[in-house]
């Protein structure tokens, strides 16, 4: 069985979209794959509730209890490793990862970013797209490399930026597309392996 481990920090709507797609498209039969665990750095991440309701194993590791980023990432890898993941999915996991962690999961970790990379790496992507006068925005699924929000682009979706958009309305429009492309990109990866 190919295990998928999903890392979240908050609402977990992308994680939920992947879990639902796995169920609806029967990823167990099609790809021999299942979402084995959802891991959060925040105990109160809303997504954990959904994951537990779905009967998925959950893990919480509070980054504030570690002296350094390296210590946290080492402990995080130790929590993930027992699942022997074929794919590690970052889904709104709001932590900058150390090179050691990225190296540990090299070639099997993906991220979704709420912009059309390589534009607007980092935070506040929607406001920055509006401020720049962009007519289009979107989201990108990419392989994770040591540099933040850089790495091979696996899938993208485009949405229009409307004249009266706020960061919130644009974020909502982009998020609906995230829920389409992230399950699609993960399924494509599973099919390749
Ligand atoms: C998503 O919009 C995702 O693209 C973004 O956080 C949101 C998480 O939503 N990720 C980043 O900004 C990573 N730098 P979710 O918890 O509902 O999936």
Catalytic, 179? Answer no
Query: Within a 10 A sphere around the Cβ of 77, how many other Cβ atoms?
Result: 15
73: its two tokens = 């990432």
The pLDDT value recorded for residue 109 is 98
Number of domains in the chain: 1
ipTM over 0.90? The verdict is: yes
Q: What atom of ligand 1 comes closest to residue 13's alpha carbon?
A: 17
91 touches ligand 1 (CB under 6 Å):
yes
Span 98-128, pLDDT tens digits:
999 999 999 999 999 999 999 999 999 999 9
Span 120-131, pLDDT tens digits:
999 999 999 999
Task: Tell me the C-alpha to C-alpha distance, in Å, between residue 119 and each of 52, 132, 134, 143, 152.
Answer: 35, 11, 11, 16, 14
The pLDDT value recorded for residue 193 is 82
The pLDDT value recorded for residue 142 is 98
Q: For residue 164, what are the domain limits?
A: 2-192
The pLDDT value recorded for residue 172 is 98
> 123 exposed, middle or buried (CB, 10 Å; 0-12, 13-18, 19+)?
exposed
Catalytic residue among 113, 126, 142, 179: 113
Q: Per the confidence metrics, is the pTM higher than 0.95?
A: yes
The pLDDT value recorded for residue 7 is 98
User: Which residue has the CA at smallest separation from atom 9 of ligand 1?
Assistant: 92
Q: What is the CATH number of the domain that holds 114?
A: 3.40.50.170
Whether residue 1 is annotated as binding a ligand: the answer is no
Compute the distance between CA of residue 176 and CA of residue 159 in angstroms, rounded to an integer: 10
**pLDDT averages per 10-residue partition of the chain, 193 residues:** 98 98 98 98 98 98 98 98 98 96 97 98 98 98 94 98 98 98 98 89
List, in sequence order, every beta strand (DSSP E) within 57-122. 57-60, 85-90, 109-113
38 touches ligand 1 (CB under 6 Å):
no
- Residues 158 and 136: beta-carbon distance below 8 Å: yes
- Residues 33 and 27: beta-carbon distance below 8 Å: yes
């Amino acid at each position: 069985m190919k295990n998928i481990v999903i890392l979240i920090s908050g609402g977990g709507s992308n994680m939920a979209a992947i879990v639902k797609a796995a169920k609806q498209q029967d990823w167990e039969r099609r790809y021999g794959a299942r979402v084995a665990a959802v891991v959060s750095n925040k105990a109160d991440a809303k997504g954990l509730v959904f994951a537990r309701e779905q009967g998925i194993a959950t893990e919480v590791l509070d980054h504030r209890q570690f002296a350094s980023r390296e210590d946290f990432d080492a402990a995080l890898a130790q929590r993930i490793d027992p699942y022997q993941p074929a794919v590690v999915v970052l889904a709104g996991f709001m932590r900058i990862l150390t090179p050691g962690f990225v190296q540990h999961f090299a070639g099997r970790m993906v991220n979704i970013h709420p912009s059309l990379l390589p534009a607007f790496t980092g935070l506040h992507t929607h406001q920055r797209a509006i401020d720049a006068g962009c007519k289009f925005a979107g989201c990108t699924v990419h392989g994770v490399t040591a540099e933040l929000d850089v790495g091979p682009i696996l899938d993208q979706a485009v949405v229009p930026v409307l004249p009266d958009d706020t960061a919130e309305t644009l974020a909502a429009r982009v998020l609906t597309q995230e829920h389409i492309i992230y399950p699609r990109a993960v399924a494509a990866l599973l099919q390749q392996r």
